[in-house]
Amino acid sequence: MEDIAILEQAQMDRATVVLARAFSPDPMFTWIYPDPEKRSRSLGRFLRVPLEFGRRYGRVTQAHDGMAVAIWLPPGRTMTVGGLVRSGVLAVPFQVGF
């Protein structure tokens, strides 16, 4: 059994791909991005924000070299606009479209 560990910066790309694959069939994302290829690209950019937020303000754990990922926020911590801005949310519309 593999140990669960903190996600390192070097594993962010793989973790982003894992999350994009996991959320790709979600009905909301299939409606927003009906083209599967564009959905995959866009979700990768979009889902990197919560990963970065988790690394900054909580904890992101991984197993199997980033192939399993969990984002944890401590009790009382919520996602804030300021934290999302610092985590890159403002760049997303310019990367995936408005």
- Give me the pLDDT at residue 27, please: 94
How far apart (Å, rounded) are the C-alpha atoms in residues 9 and 45? 16
- Give Dmax over CA atoms of the chain in angstroms: 43
Query: Domain locations in the chain?
Result: 5-87
Q: Say if pTM beats, i.e. exceeds, 0.85.
A: no
Q: What pLDDT was estimated at residue 26?
A: 92
- Tokens, residue 90: 């403002």
Looking at residue 87, what is its pLDDT?
A: 87
For 29, the enclosing helix (H) or strand (E) is: helix 27-32
pLDDT at 36: 87
For residues 62 and 83, give the distance between their C-alpha atoms in angstroms, rounded to a whole number.
22
| Measured distance CA(9)–CA(35) in Å, rounded | 30
pLDDT averages per 10-residue partition of the chain, 98 residues = 81 88 91 87 87 92 86 89 88 77
